[in-house]
Amino acid sequence: MRNRASTSLAKGKIRQSWSKYNLYNLQRFRTPATANRTFFQQKWTAKALSRAYHGEQVREGQWKRMFSKRIRSVIPMSTSDLAADDGSKTSAGRGSGLEKRGRDSVTARLTPYTQMAFAPLERRLDVAIFRSLFASSTRQARQFVIHGAVTVNGHKMRHPSYLLNPGDLFQVDPERVMFATGAPKTKFERRETRQLKQKEEETEGETEQAKSEGAEAKEDKVENAKDTLKALMAQAKTIMSKDKDVLPAKRKQELRGFQKAVRRVLSRSETSTVLTDNLESQFSELTLLLKAKRAEKKPKESKKDKKDSTEETAVAEESEGASDKLSEAFKSAAEGGEVDTSELSDEEFDVLKRALTQMRDNPIDNTKSYATPWRPRDYMSAFSFIPRYLEVNQNICAAVYLRHPVARPGSAEVPTPFGEAVSTPAYGWYLKRRW
């Protein structure tokens, strides 16, 4: 199917996508004027607008077959109200209760039924993947499904139009999700990857001649820890040199401190064999150590809490001084030795712990298809919400489709950028059979 989902500025259509063009279109969208327009024209425009967002990848005929005029809704019940009255009070007199209760008329909110016009499309697998924040657009989600990166209930599912049933568990390959939601690589990072690949190919050729691939692999593992650190430093350096204009001064300082720490570790490690150990084991040891220290320090903490708010600003200023101590600690941690944590303050503890956790979870790796360390792509936060009918576990990139979306008083669960002024005529358009 040809992709007609261009986010052109001239047309200003809103799509299911996280692109900045789409964000701009979303921001400048105004509900179309209805004055001087026939009812048919209003419905036509509303339909065109909302179909550009809802299931733009679905053919019109296919959508018309899916459309259902029945709209699911729920009413949150209060158990105390149910207990207080068995229904005879409300139906007393002429059918609407003997006393007029003023409270209800004030609090009663309307249920926005027509906002649910496109609810059947939310059942589609590709749309559900986009709604779970696993892809940056429905088109991309669709590609993931077609390329075999998605499983439903543990089986590979290659149909983006598969309609999820309540209770279905779908899972996307985490690498793809990181690629879809992460910031893209810069020009320089891409070039580095290319060079790395070329090098690898060359070395591979050599090893094939020597026919000692197995031995090579083992050596690689031993060198791994060192390599990671080296790569870290190189990455820090490149960030420093390339994004000079963009980086704020504070971050530059932090980076410099970090680089220093790594360099020191590297220079020591050539003589000692400690570093050849797995980084992973070092990490777990260190966190244990930190925990123990933390427990000792706890009584003091409570006093400090009050000060914290005032200190925060001060800490930010101190960060340069702190980073020296931090780098010491980081260095000793990486060497696998004891960490002298007594000198560090609570804040520094946190920073150190955080740095180590994040280093482990979010390594710099040129082979990845996204910029490493991973960070969210620009403007992602403006689009990030997860509707209630999905329960998502981001760690494993899996989600469960709990139930069909419903409307309730005051809100509708189908995410749509349009108000009722658009969705009502659009619903009206599909109510009438024209085919």
Partner 1 sequence: MVLRIRLARFGNKHSPFYNIVVAQARSARGAKPLEVIGTFNPVPKRPTNLYEENANARPYKEIALDRSRAKYWLGVGAQPSDPVWKLLSMAGLVEKKPATYEKA
Partner 2 sequence: MAPRIQSRRVSNALLPYLTSSPSSSSISSIPSLSPSSQCLARQFSATAAPQTKLRRTMFEWLNNEGAALKHHMPGQTNYLRNPRDSNEGGGNRPFPNNPNFISENILSEELRNEIYERVVEKKKSVRAVSVQLGIDMKRIAAVVRLVELERRQRAQGKPLALPYARAVHEMVPTTPLAQDGERQQFHEPINDLPAHPTTGPQIFYPVPESRSFTRVDAGRVFSGAPALEREVAEKITHPSDLAEKAIENPNSIDWVGKGENARQVLQPADVRIPHPQLVKLELDRAAFPEERRKVAQLHAERMERQEKVETERRERAQSRREKSIKHVEPEGGRFDYRFSDAVFTAETTGKDGRAPWAPGRRYGVPTNDRKRGVVKIPTRVEA
Residues that bind partner 1 (CB under 8 A): 153-155, 169
Q: Which does 55 bind (CB under 5 to 8 A by kind): partner 2, partner 1, none?
A: none
Q: Which does 91 bind (CB under 5 to 8 A by kind): partner 1, partner 2, none?
A: partner 2
Instruction: Find out whether 67 and 430 touch, Cβ atoms under 8 Å.
Output: yes
H-run or E-run covering 168: strand 168-172
Looking at residue 143, its amino acid is: Q
Residue among 41, 195, 267, 381 that touches partner 2 (CB under 8 A) = 381
State the minimum distance, in angstroms, from the CB of residue 206 to partner 2. Answer: 29
Residue among 118, 130, 144, 162 that touches partner 2 (CB under 8 A) = 162
Residue 171 pairs in a beta bridge with 151, 398
Q: Which does 394 bind (CB under 5 to 8 A by kind): partner 1, partner 2, none?
A: partner 2
Looking at residue 104, its amino acid is: D
Instruction: Find out whether 233 and 263 touch, Cβ atoms under 8 Å.
Output: yes
Q: Is 40 helix (H, G, I), strand (E, B) or coil?
A: helix
User: Please, which residue, 18 or 429, has the CB nearer to partner 2?
Assistant: 18
Residue 150 pairs in a beta bridge with 172
Q: How far is CA 60 from CA 64, 249, 433, 435, in A?
A: 6, 53, 13, 11
State the minimum distance, in angstroms, from the CB of residue 252 to partner 2. Answer: 10
Q: Which does 120 bind (CB under 5 to 8 A by kind): partner 2, partner 1, none?
A: none
Binding mask 223-262 for partner 2 (x = CB under 8 A): ---------x--xx--x------xxx-xx--xx-xx----
State the minimum distance, in angstroms, from the CB of residue 154 to partner 1. Answer: 3
- The alpha carbon dihedral of 421, 423, 426, 432 has a sign of negative
Query: Which range touches partner 2 (CB under 8 A), out of 188-196, 201-209, 298-306, 349-357?
Result: 349-357
Contact status: 67 vs partner 2 (CB under 8 A): no
Strand order across the beta sheet in which 155-156 lies: 155-156, 150-152, 168-172, 398-401, 390-393
Contact status: 297 vs partner 2 (CB under 8 A): no
Q: How far apart are the first and last CA of the chain?
A: 23
State the minimum distance, in angstroms, from the CB of residue 1 to partner 1. Answer: 24
